[in-house]
Structures are given as structure tokens and as C-alpha cells.
Structure 1
């Protein structure tokens, strides 16, 4: 019984870290975008920051940074959360406090509902948007980024 309790307490930590998804882009040498969507999961999955990319056609690439809402762990050990409406920035925010000091270049109003599930070394994330079609992809495979000091 003591072993089971220890495993239950330790289990949520497997999602903690910075995860990145890079969209396929055949125009690049390695076939994926040079930078991607990022999730920063801390405190055993309680706090989730979403750093996204917004492709605006001829207007270019914009960046977002926002704290997720309605974060919860499901019984089947998935993490569900909502990415609320978010400001668009011309440069990539390094953190949520950094984003608060940047001048917004617009807003993305579509809410995204994300569900993340750990599968081996990957985090599989499904995405549903409030308008039914916005969002990076309906299914994305995130990889953990190495820790930086």
C-alpha cells in the first residue's frame, strides 16, 4: 500500500516540462517549421502556459503567450485545458511576464480546447477550437525540450 501511494504522488510529475510541436513544412531543410507551438507544464500539471503560432496568410506569422484555463487531470490520466482568447505579438515572448510587456499586434479570439496524453516520450495533444476550424492541427505530437539552465 505504501508503494501505491508513492507511485500516485509521483505520477503527475511526468508531464512537467516544456513541450514543443513543430508543424510539417516541406520548404525547410528538415521538413518541419523552424519553431513551433509550446506548452510549459509545471506544478504536476496544474499550471499550463501556451505559446502558440498564428499564421495570418499574407500578414505573416504572429506569436501568442497565455496561461491556460480550466486545467484538470482526467481519470484516465489525460490533461485537459482551454487556451483562451490571446494577444498576437510580432516577436516570440520568452515568458508570460515578458508577453505582458510587449505591444499586441492584434488578438486571436478563438478558444482552443486541448487534451494531452503522454505516450512514451511524446505528448499527444488533440485540439478543438470554438469556431470548429481554427487551431494549429486537430492532433499534434509534442516532444519534450531539453532543460536549459
Structure 2
């Protein structure tokens, strides 16, 4: 795991629609955010109920047409999001792995060096047994180190 210093606040609003049901989840956390030479990177820790780190998610925004999501830790997956294209995904946990197909319908990025928003919408298909439409709205903004006393955490 690459050491990164949390320098931003990240809000994630996720909606999953499957089998006539809608699940909504919200997460507010600290994160690493940086504009690199040709892309933006957002990384955040995934915590268990006791607050221990159990994984990390890294979202790389290469363009309005290409985003990758790398999950490591308790669940592992590499997701490639490109509107209009379908990519295979292997989602691995300690209970086993699952093969899925991911078809992205929307990437809307409005990011600057100071933060911004990212919206992703994609369909996950697990053969004939399950399919879902997921929408993820991210809002990221750099921490004001003057207000936080400059305290940072490595992830």
C-alpha cells in the first residue's frame, strides 16, 4: 500500500438499484486527493466497525472518458469505467470471488487542484442471476490545514 497523507474531505453518496429495490449509502471521510501530471487521484481508507483499517480504495480519473477504481484489503477489485464499453471485473473477498461485467453509462468530472465533484453511473451484471445500476456521487475538497492544525494521517 502506497503511503499517502490525507489532505482532503471526501463525501460519497451511492445508490444501487436492483430487483425493484434501491439501496442508498453515504460516507464522509478524510482522503488523499491530488492532481498529477495527467490525472486526478482520490484515495481513502475503508474501516471496520471498530475503526480499524481493512482496505483502501483508489479512484484515478484519467479523463471524462476513463476512470479506474482499485480496491485492496478485505475486498479486492480493479474496475475500469469507460462510457459505452463493457469490462470484466473479478471481485474477491475471503469468502470467494465473483465475476461480473461492468458497463459504464456516465462519467461526469468537474475537478480542479482544490477538489470538485465526480459522478459515475454503471451497470453490474452477474450472469442471469443479478444485475444492478449503481450511481456514485463524490465531492472532494482540500482540508484547510490552518483550521485543522496541520494534523494529517498516513494511509
TM over 0.5: no
Q: Per residue, is there more strand in 1 or in 2?
A: 2
Q: Which has the higher contact order (CA 8 A, sep 6+)?
A: 2
TM-score tier after normalising by the smaller chain length: 0.3 to 0.5
Q: Per residue, is there more helix in 1 or in 2?
A: 1
